Amino acid sequence: MKVGDFLTGSDTELGYEVEDAISGVRGTASSMVVFHDGNIQFAVQPKTTPEKNEMHDGWNIDAAQLKFLSEGVNSLRVQAPVVDIALGGLVKDKFTDIEGIATRKVVFLNGCVYYSIARKITQEMKDKGAKETTPHFVNWTQLVKLEPRTLLAPKEVKPASKAQGTARGVGGPSSPAYKR
């Protein structure tokens, strides 16, 4: 990869030093988030300064708007295991018995893989006034596949271009995807 190239959305890019093409924020790609709709984001962790010695929160930024600056700490990246859990699939946490849909996959620089599980709202929850549930965030090793369906096929990440206008390729009025 050359300086200025946009990321492709692969976990092999974890650890790279990157820059957001929109805000100019620079930092290390410390985790990668894949959503059930195909959107891929990297958490960009900015460096601290010796004077302040403060830890800053990272920002999740679309992969297609992140430019490669250097290899950074990519050599420290631990290869994540291949996990056969499709986003959109029905899964169950074997320790808590929580069942739901896998809606988000997070891969960390250290090789850990976690999923967010969206649970259905039960009648008991509705009776108590619940309108939504908090996603269950769990290590993949705790999950059992119940139904291998998918909601949407993951999209291929395409780098932003001046012609497209946005990182997701939706573009502006000249784009075929743009609807008035």
The reply to whether 22 falls in a domain is yes
pLDDT at site 161: 53
Residue 7 CB coordination number (10 Å)? 23
pLDDT at site 125: 82
The reply to whether 21 falls in a domain is yes
61, 99: one domain = no
| Residues in contact with 101: Cβ distance below 8 Å, sequence separation at least 6, in sequence order | 36, 88, 89, 90, 91, 117, 118, 151
104, 140: one domain = yes
pLDDT at site 129: 87
DSSP 123: H
The reply to whether 165 falls in a domain is no
Q: What is the pLDDT along the chain (180 residues), one digit of tens a residue?
A: 889 888 888 889 999 999 999 999 999 999 999 998 889 999 999 988 777 778 888 899 999 999 999 999 999 999 999 998 989 899 999 999 999 999 999 999 999 999 999 988 888 888 888 877 888 999 999 999 997 665 555 555 555 554 444 444 433 333 333 232
94, 72: one domain = no
| Residues in contact with 166: Cβ distance below 8 Å, sequence separation at least 6, in sequence order | 160, 172
The reply to whether 69 falls in a domain is yes
The reply to whether 99 falls in a domain is yes
pTM: 0.77
DSSP 46: P
The reply to whether 171 falls in a domain is no
How many domains is the chain built from?
2
103, 131: one domain = yes
Cα gap 103→144, rounded to integer Å? 15
Q: How far is CA 8 from CA 53, 97, 140, in A?
A: 32, 36, 24
Cα gap 79→16, rounded to integer Å? 14
Domain that holds residue 123: 90-147
15, 72: one domain = yes
